[in-house]
Structure formats: structure tokens, C-alpha cells
Structure 1
Amino acid sequence: MITVRIPRKNKEVFNLYAHGNFINSAYNEERGSLFVSDKGVVVLDYNYRPHRRAYIVCPAEQAQYMKPVYLPNVREKLSLIAAVYGRRIDLLRTALFNIESIAGKEAYDFPILFWQEVSCLLDNFNGKKGAANKANLMILCTRFGRKC
């Protein structure tokens, strides 16, 4: 299980966005939103004033071979699948949009290997074009269970 607290915009040092297949949510006027995911992968997008970071994570018990870490505003220990910085965050956001249009929110329940391959596609960026395009993502989604 992953429990993420999204702070109210511009009320804390950073803004946080979460993408995943969430089963429960709640909102508090003072503290922000709370989202709960029972399994699968969650993508966390932190925006600090001078820089931004994104992480592809899963619950620590799903990936025993990865060292567990703690991230801000997340209650449980997580296994870090990928850390994304700079321009690759924009590529990740585009990839998430394409993955959700192909496979829906169920894509966040795909195996960890799927998300590791998405991370490899994001790393294959030469400054102009990236390999995380819709055609490659469609091939990955088809291979991991979604018929297009």
C-alpha cells in the first residue's frame, strides 16, 4: 500500500503530483489531499522552486531486491524503480499520458519490469527525440497484457 499526501498548491516548500491507480482519496482544507494505492506503481512528481524531480516507485514489499527508501509526503517505505530529472520529466509526463490512453489506469498495475523498460526508454534521449514515443509504448503495453 502507498499513501500519498498532496499538499495544497504553493502552501509548502514543494508541490507534489501523483499518478497511479488509486483506490481511495480524501481532502482536507488545511492539509491537502490524501490518496491511497493498494498495489502497483505510483509516479510522484515533485516541483521544488529551483528544480523538479520525478520518481517511479512501488511498495517495498513488491520488490525485495531493491533497497527501501522514504520520500517526502509518503507514509510507507518504497522501492525506487526510476528517478527522473530535468527534461526527462516532460518526456515522462508525455509517456504517462500515452500509456493511460493505451491501457488506462490499469497500466499502473503492470509488473515492475514494464516500468523499468519505460525508464530505459526515457533514458534513451539524445536531446531532440526520445524513445518513449507512442509506438514503443504501445508495443510495451501489448507485451505486458493490454491488447491494442
Structure 2
Amino acid sequence: MNYLLLLSLIGFTSADFKPRKYRVNLDLPPDQRWNQVIRENIEVIPLIAEEAKKYIPSFIQPVVWPIARALGNLLPKDIHEELKGISRESGLPLGEVVGLNILYDITAFDRKHILYEGCTSIVLQDKRGNIFHGRNLDYEMQDLLKNMTIYVDFVKNNTVIN
């Protein structure tokens, strides 16, 4: 699941930042799954949204948000419902939530990344079954995201799923 916005919800901090850990219960209705994350970070959400908007020229934003809202209908139903819940809980318009959620995907897609370089992502599992995901930040949003991350355990039937 791609939750750029949610990964961006934790405030701007120093390099000593230690990510908070959350459990997202997949047994809940999709529009309620992220409520705890949103509520615990409600003060910084507008700041993060405004910072992220700097990557979209202001003159096209009035057109971008309605298009993004419409694109939300093309997402898998659960993800679209989750984004609706995030919008409701955060107070951000749905078009902005959808748009900011796909912002990285849009900004990373250019010829430079296709022909010459691109993000590197590594996923591995240790002997205990712990899964680790590492990713370099070779895109222009590194200042926005470098210290804003969360750990998320996805839980179904009271069991963390891998």
C-alpha cells in the first residue's frame, strides 16, 4: 500500500528522530483504519500538506485536486475508502489526500529515472521472520520525507500479517 501522505504525517524533526510504531487493524472498516495515526498527528497534517503542495505549481492546483479526487475512484475500493477516512479525520479535502498520496509516483516518473537512474528499494526477511524495507531517497522530496516515517504493523484477526 502506498501511503506517502501517512508517511509524511510525523512532524519535521532532527536526524535523531525515532519513528513511532502503529498497528493498523485490517478488520476495521477501511475508512477507520488510519484514525489513530491521523488523530495523534493532527497538528502537523496541515503543515505537511502545505509543504508537499510546493511540489505542485500553484497555478495548476485548482485543476489538480479535482482530477486527483476523480482518480481516487480508479483505486482499489479498500484504498479509496481508506483515503476517504483520512480525508474525514484530517479535515483535508479528498482530492488533496488522493493527490498527495500519489505525489511521489507522479514526480518520480520522468525519463531520467527510466533511462539512467531510479529509486532503489530492498526488502528482506531475517531468521526471526522480521521484514525490513530500505529505500534510498533519490528524488526531490528528500527534505520533506527524510525524518518523517512511521512503523506500521498491519493486523488481521489479532495477528500481524507479513
The bucket for the TM-score relative to the shorter chain is under 0.3
Bigger relative contact order, structure 1 or 2, given CA contacts below 8 A and separation 6+? Answer: 2
Per the normalisation by structure 2, the TM-score is: 0.26
Q: Which has the higher helix share?
A: 2
Structure number with larger C-alpha Rg = 2
